[in-house]
Amino acid sequence: SQKIEQNSEALNIQEGKTATLTCNYTNYSPAYLQWYRQDPGRGPVFLLLIRENEKEKRKERLKVTFDTTLKQSLFHITASQPADSATYLCALDRGSTLGRLYFGRGTQLTVWP
Amino acid sequence: GAGVSQTPSNKVTEKGKYVELRCDPISGHTALYWYRQSLGQGPEFLIYFQGTGAADDSGLPNDRFFAVRPEGSVSTLKIQRTERGDSAVYLCASSREAHNEQFFGPGTRLTVL
């Protein structure tokens, strides 16, 4: 079965620093990898999608990398702000499974002033 | 436009009862997903609809769980003979088509006493 590990349950950083979150997976290689943000009591919100043939994707202060050899994705938030505090979920789409997503447990990010 | 909506937002029921959870996806989205999320975990896939048909129901835990989408828009997740272990947040998501970003609703928090 697909196994997804996110580096830690919690990450605390100071405002202005870069937050780096890790997502490692085993077994099957995903065709797509997505990152979502989830706030308490809310549903996940899509942030970025990267395809297996892409190395890097950027959107404003966010950057995602995808290394299919290492079976790893890194998610970076530069110039972090307290408003970035949330849980970040990594999700894999194997491509062959009709778009169902396999989610990691998430990393809870806290950015302190 | 309106996002994905789910009703009720909270549902408390007794063990053995039947419950129905409703999802209104974004208009025009053909793909609809149900996930279940327990505390501290990522969403866990239950079922995927493409149009009116269940294209993948491999995530349903047992035959007490059933879902329908009769007209290709609104979907209802039905749980018979509820058990305490069914307590979780049930999330619905829709997307324009498979392998795209998924838009999640706020979820229904189900508590089985």
Q: Distance (Å) from the C-alpha of residue B105 to the closest C-alpha of chain A?
A: 6
Nearest C-alpha in B relative to A41: B106
User: pLDDT grade, residue B1 (50/70/90)?
Assistant: low
B99 touches chain A (CB under 8 A): yes
A30-55, pLDDT tens digit by residue? 888 999 999 999 999 999 999 989 99
CB contact (8 A) between residue A43 and residue B42: no
Report how far residue B102's alpha carbon sits from residue A36's, in angstroms, rounded to the nearest whole number.
9
Report how far residue A54's alpha carbon sits from residue A77's, in angstroms, rounded to the nearest whole number.
19
A62-97, pLDDT tens digit by residue? 999 999 889 999 999 999 999 999 999 999 988 776
DSSP B43-95: -EEEEEEETTEEEE-TT--STTEEEE-TTSS-EEEEE-S--GGG-EEEEEEEE
- The string over B50-81, giving b where at least 16 C-beta atoms fall within 10 Å of a residue's C-beta and e elsewhere, is beeebbbeebbeeeebebebeeebebebebee
B8-35, pLDDT tens digit by residue? 999 999 999 999 999 999 999 999 999 9
CB contact (8 A) between residue B56 and residue A93: no
Contact A90, A105 (CB under 8 A): no
Between strands A10-14 and A107-112, the pairing is: parallel
**Which one of B49, B57, B90, B101 makes the best mutation probe of the A interface by having the most chain A beta carbons within 10 Å?**
B101
B31 touches chain A (CB under 8 A): yes
Nearest C-alpha in A relative to B98: A99
CB contact (8 A) between residue B99 and residue A100: no
A82: helix, coil or strand?
helix
Of residues B42, B44, B48, nearest to A99 (C-beta): B48
Nearest C-alpha in A relative to B56: A98
B54 touches chain A (CB under 8 A): no
Among residues B105, B102, B77, B107, the alpha carbon closest in space to that of B90 is found at B107
CB contact (8 A) between residue B103 and residue A106: no
Share of chain B above pLDDT 70, in %: 99
CB contact (8 A) between residue A100 and residue B45: yes
Q: Please report residues of B whose CB lies closer than 8 A to that of A37.
A: none
What are the distances in angstroms from CA B82 to CA B46, B62, B64?
16, 11, 8
B1 touches chain A (CB under 8 A): no
Q: What pLDDT, on the 0 to 100 scale, is given for residue A28?
A: 76
Q: Distance (Å) from the C-alpha of residue B98 to the closest C-alpha of chain A?
A: 5
Q: What pLDDT, on the 0 to 100 scale, is given for residue A1?
A: 65
Among residues B57, B36, B37, the alpha carbon closest in space to that of B48 is found at B57
Triad B9, B87, A90: Cα angle to 5°: 80
Q: Which residue has the tokens 């392998």?
A: B99
Q: Which residue has the tokens 């697909």?
A: A2
Share of chain B above pLDDT 90, in %: 90
CB atoms inside a 10 Å sphere around CB A7: 15
User: pLDDT grade, residue B99 (50/70/90)?
Assistant: confident
Q: What pLDDT, on the 0 to 100 scale, is given for residue B46?
A: 97
DSSP B3-52: --EEE-SEEEE-TT--EEEEEE--TT--EEEEEEE-TTS--EEEEEEETT
